[in-house]
A and B are shown apart, each in its own frame.
Chain A
């Protein structure tokens, strides 16, 4: 084998490679050559294109409602800007795009669409729920059979998929309108419970105070404390509907009696 030592000047660092790849205005690093030993600008473009295409495609697949709201071409152009500022920080492409909600706030083409960041947050939460750890929901009877005193002292463990999203906009209605032919969204705030039923993520609207109740449970508060917080926020807090959503979403996986 031929091992002749070449000058250091032709060495291409991965920093130079990466920088030129993410910035089309930077020429390909010297030392990348075609079969004649000449600079290989267009050949380098293959890597530029592959990276941009794969990351933009991953974003489009991860935010199907944003794609519908913005249109495929606009979304793609936006993704090309995003991926250069926020290339993935991990190999876990299933979570790529976590900074999209903040990005939308500052992006000139979307800054006026105030509801978009919350729709993006919902899409991210649904993806996290899809990949969350497995768990088995309790039989609702186990909760309803408790005495009032035992219930108030109980601590509920919620499924790993459970999250709360408080939106000043009808983020879930917008999502349903685009993904499930739901009714036209009415401009009003929505508190959303995200969970997973079997293997399918679901999002449900909570009544006022419901988000406070579930967030308290997530922090490990007793049922009574969570109920007190929700009731002090909303005097006629609807516990029945909130519990119904938690049961329907297979959200409660364990009861520890105080």
Chain B
């Protein structure tokens, strides 16, 4: 039976090396020989059942790997109030697991009690800034821990936005004390789709507040005008320009725990491990370089 009392021991910090998004089909591989994989991220919502194999495996994994809990359902950017039942489930999980980090998205997913199972965009205005700030304060207070906020991938912009995304995120962090999760693939996707310079975004972004990186693959499509439209699919290897942007980020801001996300068309473990090893090389090489002035 699972011990449902909170762990008393010190949590294992995420190392400044590479982790992967945990998939149950990789359990045996990870327990036998994780290779370049040094930590794991789990999606909180998959571990909110009362018991069974998911939680038992997570307990075993947490004895071996530092764990980062990544929520996809809090709807921090939602117009509605945060769902108290969901917050309670989340608190139960993080109190039990005591993960190294907890992160969520600058997005909304629930409206009128309907959960849409996707990360939906919000405009960047003074109103939404106040709302997101209020929600993050509520989350951090309720969980009794700091959270990391992840930048979204964007396919379109809101005409009503009055803040740039890096400024908006910086101001949220200033007001709430939250940390940041920088998804480098998301920056590249948004930069391509909204036609801005991804390095200028990084230059404006508060790298000193970043406690975790995400890396993932994306798909390429086009809009009705034939303009390139990248889709955040998490279903293939990390694209070359994303590695280049990652190198730029690490050279400028230093190494952090970096996660390879692969959520669709999930490969066998050796292919995922190879991608983790690839990320490890980039992390090591870039962190010894300086950004040219």
What is the total of A-B residue contacts with beta carbons within 8 Å?
155
The residues in A between 33 and 63 inclusive whose CB is less than 8 angstroms from any CB of B are: 33-35, 37, 40-44, 46-47, 50-51, 54-55, 58
CB pair A1 B111 closer than 8 Å: no
Nearest residue, chain A, Cβ from B162: A3
CB pair B48 A87 closer than 8 Å: no
- A34 is contacted by which of B46, B221, B223 (Cβ under 8 Å)? B223
Q: Complex: how many Å from CA A130 to CA B121?
A: 33
Q: Complex: how many Å from CA A136 to CA B123?
A: 51
- B52 is contacted by which of A34, A41, A51, A196 (Cβ under 8 Å)? A196
Contacts of A43 in B (CB 8 A): 155-156, 193, 223, 229
Nearest residue, chain B, Cβ from A29: B158
- Whether, in the assembled complex, A89 has its beta carbon less than 8 Å from a beta carbon of chain B, the answer is yes
Report the interface size class on chain A: 35 or more
- Whether, in the assembled complex, A2 has its beta carbon less than 8 Å from a beta carbon of chain B, the answer is yes
The residues in B between 126 and 164 inclusive whose CB is less than 8 angstroms from any CB of A are: 126, 155-160, 162-164
A-binding segment of B10-18, B78-86, B236-244: B78-86
Q: Complex: how many Å from CA A41 to CA B225?
A: 11
Q: Complex: how many Å from CA A42 to CA B224?
A: 6
Which of B113, B126, B157, B194 has the largest number of chain A CB atoms within 10 A? Answer: B157
CB pair B160 A91 closer than 8 Å: no
- Whether, in the assembled complex, B45 has its beta carbon less than 8 Å from a beta carbon of chain A, the answer is yes
CB pair A11 B123 closer than 8 Å: yes
Which of B1, B50, B126 has the largest number of chain A CB atoms within 10 A? Answer: B50
Name B's A-contacting residues (CB within 8 A): 1-2, 45-46, 48-56, 72-73, 78-80, 83, 85-86, 89, 108-118, 120-121, 123, 126, 155-160, 162-164, 167, 193-195, 221, 223-225, 227, 229, 231
Name A's B-contacting residues (CB within 8 A): 1-6, 10-15, 17-18, 21, 31-35, 37, 40-44, 46-47, 50-51, 54-55, 58, 87-94, 130-136, 160, 196, 199
19 CB contacts below 8 A, A to B, read: A1-B164, A2-B162, A2-B163, A2-B164, A6-B160, A35-B195, A40-B223, A41-B224, A42-B224, A47-B118, A47-B120, A47-B155, A51-B117, A54-B117, A54-B118, A89-B115, A91-B72, A91-B86, A92-B89
